[in-house]
Amino acid sequence: MTTAKGMIVNMKKVIINADDFGLTLGCNKGIIKGIKEGVVTSTTVMINMPYAYEGLKELKDIYFKSVGVHLTLTCGEPTLPTDEIPSLVDDNGSFYRRRAQLFPKMNLEEAELELRNQIELFIKTGLIPSHLDSHHHIHMYDGLRKIVSRLAKEYKLPVRYANEETKEYLEKNQILTTDGFSMEFYGKKAKKDEIKMILNNFEGNIIEIMTHPALLDDDLINISSYNIDREKELEVLTDKGLIKWLEENDFQLIGYNQLKE
């Protein structure tokens, strides 16, 4: 932007991504509320979850463009038949709930088949994925980091970097990512002042802040230990004072679909 005195100010760009779209109906409603009334500029969908497809239709209806794939191996059921990816599922045919349960048993070839299918199912909805990230940050671990990076290059998609080692790997392989990433807006730190602190301390050009807004429902209580705090996140992310502060402090809100601009 240009100030009244003619000085050029480079606005720092901020992506505020809402994870877990599709997890429950309350997640969908909360994220859409955050988009329409707040500062949520991006979301990632768990395409294997029951509310993914009806939620994506709502995003298409409002012409929302920054929708990525929340690659998932630790929640819900797989998108492929269990006999094609037996190492990824428990005796009930569901994904293991914890990385510590999954990783010792995981066959990486099966993992790649499942993750690729999740991307393909997203594309079949008619939406263009804006980027990739993952549930429980599985893509920042050895093996899966390589798989997700290979898929990102194939589909020409940016990736959330989650930790510095992954950022270095993405940059080495010429995969687009942000300059900064924060997962600090969470739990007791899900406050307006936390967002301000994150942004005031950021020295790069583009940062992503990970969020989990939702309207609380019974499904969310049953499926996730992180539930009540999601409503608190939504309150912050729709706070008009936060919107005003971002504008006054020259932070430009963008989606992952605008990362190349």
Position 1 confidence tier, pLDDT thresholds 50, 70, 90: very low
Domain segments of the chain as ranges: 12-256
Residue 220: pLDDT over 70 = yes
243-258 tens-digit pLDDT: 999 999 999 999 999 9
Position 3 confidence tier, pLDDT thresholds 50, 70, 90: very low
- Computed over every residue of the chain, the mean pLDDT equals 95
- Percentage of the chain surpassing pLDDT 70? 96
Higher pLDDT, 29 or 3: 29
Residue 75: pLDDT over 90 = yes
Comparing CA positions, the residue from 221, 216, 179 lying closest to residue 201 is 179
Comparing CA positions, the residue from 63, 111, 120 lying closest to residue 86 is 111
Comparing CA positions, the residue from 181, 171, 178, 160 lying closest to residue 69 is 160
- Is residue 225 within 8 A of residue 97, CB to CB? The reply is no
Query: Which pTM value belongs to this model?
Result: 0.94
Comparing CA positions, the residue from 134, 143, 149 lying closest to residue 103 is 143
Residues 6+ apart with CB under 8 A from 125: 53, 56, 60
Kindly list the distances between the CA atom of residue 232 and the CA atoms of 21, 134, 146, 189, 212, in Å, as whole numbers in the listed order. 17, 23, 35, 10, 10
Q: What is the spatial distance between Cα 45 and Cα 19, in angstroms, rounded to a whole number?
A: 7
pLDDT attached to residue 59 = 97
pLDDT attached to residue 11 = 87
Position 261 confidence tier, pLDDT thresholds 50, 70, 90: low
136-168 tens-digit pLDDT: 999 999 999 999 999 999 999 999 999 999 999
According to CATH, the superfamily of the domain at 12-256 is: Glycoside hydrolase/deacetylase (3.20.20.370)
Residue 7: pLDDT over 70 = no
Q: What is the mean pLDDT of residues 175-199?
A: 97
